[in-house]
Amino acid sequence: MIDEAFLPFRDLVDKILDIPGANIVDEESGIHSFIYEIEIGTPIELDISVDDEGKVKIGSVPPLYRVNSSFRPSYHSITIKAEKYTPPENGE
């Protein structure tokens, strides 16, 4: 079971890529602006567990706290690169 403080990893990716105002269209002025590719790097804490059926569950959250001590928690770093998929017009 994933720690309740963590999101399933796929939910974190969905939230990172949900960019408000990604498409700006002003037909009257003839302005069209679209974000079709994005790359984001971020530190992350992971919670990896295996459920009763043997399925691996990955939980993730941005680092919850910073500890000033001689030993720091181990954070991971991920880079997410996403590109909008547009199917070809001929259906291939």
User: For 49-87, what is each residue's pLDDT tens digit?
Assistant: 888 999 998 888 777 666 565 555 566 788 888 887 777
Q: What's the confidence (pLDDT) of residue 53?
A: 92
Distance of CA 9 to the CA centre of its chain: 7
Distance CA 12, CA 22 (A): 18
Q: What's the confidence (pLDDT) of residue 68?
A: 61
Per-residue pLDDT band for 40 (boundaries 50, 70, 90) equals: confident
pTM: 0.50
Question: Is residue 35 within 8 Å of 22, Cβ to Cβ?
Answer: yes
- pLDDT tens digits for 7-27? 777 887 787 777 776 778 888
Domain parsing of the chain, residue ranges: 7-83
